[in-house]
């Protein structure tokens, strides 16, 4: 299987919006295991939000291109002091469980090490135990820090009270 991981550009935004929303929300997301459809209504992201991210000097979105040159995965990374924030790890529901998420995680950690960052940090919805366990198998540990879920329609409308667990992986220098 041939693939490549490269930084996304402005022209990729419509495909990224579609991918991220299909991976997390709505009926299409239920084909994969990363769905949040039962936890949240609404969209996961929009074009304006991704435009802001892609234009931030401290941030990058990596896209995963399959052998047909289709974007089937992505991850948002942002440098924050000596750490890398990792978010929006998304894989097309039809392409999940094929190692794409693992490859994007490795690319993210390589990026962090290249930039001499000490750790990768992320937030995960606390009730997503299967996802937390997936990250733990990759060396991420809950920090004990809890963050509130945003109270805005842009993040989705929770079907129940939600909060984030902060997870971190220290990198070898």
Mean pLDDT of 83-88: 95
- pLDDT tens for 47-79 read 899 999 999 999 999 999 998 999 999 999 999
Q: What is the pLDDT of residue 46?
A: 85
- pLDDT tens for 135-153 read 999 999 999 999 988 777 6
Q: What is the pLDDT of residue 44?
A: 76
Mean pLDDT of 75-101: 91
Domains of the chain with bracketed CATH: 4-170 (3.40.630.30)
Using 50, 70 and 90 to split pLDDT, how confident is the model at 162?
confident
Q: What is the pLDDT of residue 54?
A: 93
Confidence check: pLDDT of 128 > 70: yes
Could you write out the three-class secondary structure of the chain? CCCEEEECCHHHHHHHHHHHHHHHCHHHHCCCCCCCCCCEECCCCCHHHHHHHHCCCCEEEEEEECCCCCEEEEEEEEEECCEEEEEEEEECHHHCCCCHHHHHHHHHHHHHHHCCCCEEEEEEECCCHHHHHHHHHCCCEEEEEEEECCCCHHHCEECCCCEEEEEEEECCC
Q: What is the pLDDT of residue 151?
A: 73
Confidence check: pLDDT of 87 > 80: yes
- pLDDT tens for 24-45 read 766 665 666 666 656 656 677 8
pTM: 0.90
Q: What is the pLDDT of residue 112?
A: 96
């Amino acid at each position: 299987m041939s693939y490549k991981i490269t930084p996304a550009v402005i022209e990729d935004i419509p495909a990224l919006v579609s991918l991220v929303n299909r991976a997390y929300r709505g009926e299409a997301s239920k084909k994969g295991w990363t769905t949040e459809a039962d936890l949240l209504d609404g969209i996961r992201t929009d074009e304006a939000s991704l435009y802001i991210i892609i234009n931030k000097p401290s941030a990058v979105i990596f896209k995963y291109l399959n052998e047909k040159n289709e974007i089937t995965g992505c991850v948002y990374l942002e440098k924050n002091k000596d750490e890398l924030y990792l978010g929006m790890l998304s894989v097309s529901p039809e392409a999940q469980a094929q190692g794409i998420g693992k490859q994007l995680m490795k690319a993210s950690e390589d990026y962090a090490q290249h930039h001499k960052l000490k750790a990768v940090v992320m937030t995960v919805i606390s009730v997503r135990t299967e996802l937390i366990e997936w990250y733990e198998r990759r060396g991420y540990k809950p920090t004990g820090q809890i963050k509130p879920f945003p109270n805005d329609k842009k993040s989705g409308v929770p079907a129940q009270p939600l909060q984030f667990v902060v997870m971190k992986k220290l990198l070898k220098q």
